[in-house]
Amino acid sequence: MNGILPLWKPRGMTSHDCVMKIRRLYKTRKVGHTGTLDPEVEGVLPICIGQATKIVPFLTDTKKTYIAEVKLGQTTETEDSYGGIVEAVNVDVFPEIGEIDACLQSFLGVTKQIPPMYSAVKVNGKKLYEYARANEEVVRPVRNIEVHSIERIAQNENDHTIRFQVTCSKGTYIRTLCVDIGKQLGYPAHMSFLERIRTGNFTKQEAITFDQIEQASNDLERAAWLKPLLTGVDHLSALEVSEQVKHKVQYGQKLSRPDELPETNPFLMMHQGELLAIYQIHEKNEREIKPVRVFQFDKK
Catalytic residue among 38, 80, 101, 180: 38
Interaxial angle between packed helices 174-185 and 97-105, expressed in degrees from 0 to 180 and rounded to the nearest 10: 130
CA–CA separation, 151 and 285 (whole Å)? 45
Cβ count within 10 A of residue 187: 23
Reference 233, options 258, 263, 206, 201; nearest CA is 201
Residue 61 among the catalytic residues = no
Q: Is 74 left (phi over 0), alpha (psi -120 to 50) or beta?
A: beta
Per DSSP, the chain holds a count of helices (H) and strands (E) of: 9, 18
Instruction: Tell me how far apart the terminal alpha carbons of the chain are, to the nearest angstrom.
Output: 21
Reference 268, options 244, 243, 289; nearest CA is 289
Q: Where does residue 95 rank: exposed (0-12), middle (13-18), buried (19+ CB within 10 A)?
A: buried
Helix then strand then coil, % of the chain, to nearest 5: 25, 35, 40
CA–CA separation, 169 and 122 (whole Å)? 19
Reference 276, options 232, 234, 223, 230; nearest CA is 230
Residues recognised as catalytic: 38
